[in-house]
Amino acid sequence: MKTMFTIPMVVLLLWTSSYAQITDTQPRGVEDKLTVKLLLSKDGVLPGTECRAMLIVSIDEGWHINSYIPNVEGFIATSVEMERTEGVELVSMKYPPAFEQALDFSETPLEVYEGTIKIMLHFKVALDASPGKHTIPLELRYQACSNEVCLAPTAVQFDLPLTVVDKLEDVSLINQELFDENER
């Protein structure tokens, strides 16, 4: 069994806020062969505190995308990228373990994702972050193949809406069961 791994991130800063259990991701690009949805662990974030997000990627049946670290050199990794935004640091990302699939055309089983996968994002809001609603641009980059066709690498862009609050009573935990199960 492959273990999940954590990628420490220093590059990206992020304002985040969330209203509902399932965040309206508003994809801006074309979701080709998959759809994305976001869950947040809190509906508001205090400055200086942390929050988690879960990106749920549902891949169309019959298609697969490469894992975060493909086992064939130079293949396009599935990855999430964020635009630099002042005030928030992305602390880590966790990608799910890959599924080893023997494919008709490949002598080596490929490490791919199929079905539904979850990518965990863990971020921290800066102490001096000002309260308010913010939108964080995210991008999921991937490359999909079926048994008959390989598509060119592509990306789907979507926004993560976040609310930075200044009172503890304005923060509620949401989707905890799902996040806790994932952390086990």
Residue carrying structure tokens 């975060």: 68
76 is a contact residue toward another protein (CB under 8 A): yes
Q: From 6-14, 126-134, 137-145, 162-170, give the range in contact with another protein by CB under 8 A.
A: 137-145
27 is a contact residue toward another protein (CB under 8 A): no
Q: How far is the CB of 136 from another protein (least distance, A)?
A: 19
Q: How far is the CB of 149 from another protein (least distance, A)?
A: 4
Grouping H, G, I as helix, E, B as strand and the rest as coil, residue 146 is coil
Q: From 5-13, 100-108, 124-132, 162-170, give the range in contact with another protein by CB under 8 A.
A: 100-108
Alpha-carbon distance of 8 to 79, in angstroms, equals 14
From residue 182, alpha-carbon distances to 4, 61, 99, 117, 175 in Å are 10, 24, 17, 11, 11
Q: From 43-51, 121-129, 150-158, 166-174, give the range in contact with another protein by CB under 8 A.
A: 150-158
Binds another protein (CB under 8 A): choice among 19, 35, 49, 135: 35
From residue 135, alpha-carbon distances to 41, 48, 105, 121, 152 in Å are 16, 18, 42, 16, 28
Residues touching another protein, count (CB under 8 A): 50
Alpha-carbon distance of 77 to 103, in angstroms, equals 18
Residue 111 or 124 having the CB closest to another protein = 111
Q: How far is the CB of 132 from another protein (least distance, A)?
A: 27
Alpha-carbon distance of 165 to 52, in angstroms, equals 16
